[in-house]
């Protein structure tokens, strides 16, 4: 392992640090077979913060991601809404949403966007999906911006019919017809899921 020249080492350093932020300067100096000072100069030039700052950063970032990925009320970001009438949301397909092999979006994320949009558009304390007919008309892929539109067709008593269409650059990727159950009693829930 002949030592790298500056340029090369710095590129590898960036990569190393971003894949494993838990490396001290000392460890890095061993990996690259240079002195600690060299590593520090490199970090200075590349604006890589010190170990503790890096860790703090991932800790904060990840806690936020957790909230936005798993605890969020809605998959996708709502960009327009008229309660009990219609709603629009944007969902950007990221790495975790696709099949690794071919980068095609997993169907259930498109469904999740549509489903949570239906829940959101209904202006009642409790709204649950009762049934749905759905169709995936085209494959969407990593990086796509999926715009989903929900239109409330009918509301009577405790039942709403909503049609959803999702498009990437005007082209339909998903459509569905959702039957929702809703009520103003907050703690029902022994009926549907």
Instruction: Between 38 and 129, name the residue whose CB sits nearer to its own copies.
Output: 129
Q: What is the dihedral of CA 109, 112, 114, 116, to 10 degrees?
A: -150
Q: Answer for the pair 92, 141: CB distance below 8 angstroms, yes or no.
A: no
Instruction: Between 103 and 158, name the residue whose CB sits nearer to its own copies.
Output: 103
Among 112, 142, 155, 161, binds its own copies (CB under 8 A): 112
Instruction: Between 39 and 118, name the residue whose CB sits nearer to its own copies.
Output: 118
The whole-angstrom separation of Cα 27 and Cα 36 is: 9
The whole-angstrom separation of Cα 47 and Cα 4 is: 20
| 6 binds its own copies, rule: CB under 8 A | no
| 95 binds its own copies, rule: CB under 8 A | yes
Q: What are phi and psi of 18, to 5 degrees?
A: -75, -30
Residue whose pair of structure tokens reads 């975790």 in the numeric block: 96
| 7 binds its own copies, rule: CB under 8 A | no
Q: What are phi and psi of 6, to 5 degrees?
A: -40, -60
Instruction: Between 37 and 131, name the residue whose CB sits nearer to its own copies.
Output: 131
The 49-88 site mask, x for binding DNA (CB under 7 A), equals: xxxx------------------------------------
Binding positions for DNA, rule: CB under 7 A: 5-6, 9, 24-26, 34-35, 37-38, 40-41, 43-44, 49-52
């Amino acid at each position: 392992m002949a030592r790298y020249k500056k340029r090369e080492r710095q590129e590898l350093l960036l990569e190393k640090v971003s894949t494993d932020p838990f490396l001290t300067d000392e460890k890095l100096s061993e990996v690259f077979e240079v002195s600690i000072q060299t590593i520090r100069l490199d970090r200075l030039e590349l604006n890589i913060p010190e170990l503790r700052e890096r860790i703090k950063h991932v800790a904060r970032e990840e806690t936020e991601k957790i909230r936005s990925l798993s605890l969020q009320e809605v998959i996708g970001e709502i960009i327009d809404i008229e309660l009990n009438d219609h709603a629009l949301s944007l969902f950007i397909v990221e790495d975790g949403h696709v099949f690794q092999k071919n980068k095609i979006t997993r169907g259930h994320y498109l469904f999740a966007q549509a489903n949570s949009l239906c829940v959101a558009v209904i202006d009642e304390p409790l709204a649950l999906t009762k049934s749905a007919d759905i169709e995936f008309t085209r494959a969407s892929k990593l990086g796509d911006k999926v715009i989903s539109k929900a239109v409330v067709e009918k509301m009577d008593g405790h039942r709403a019919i909503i049609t959803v269409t999702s498009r990437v650059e005007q082209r339909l990727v998903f459509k569905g017809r959702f039957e929702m159950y809703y009520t103003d009693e907050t703690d029902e829930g022994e009926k549907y899921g």
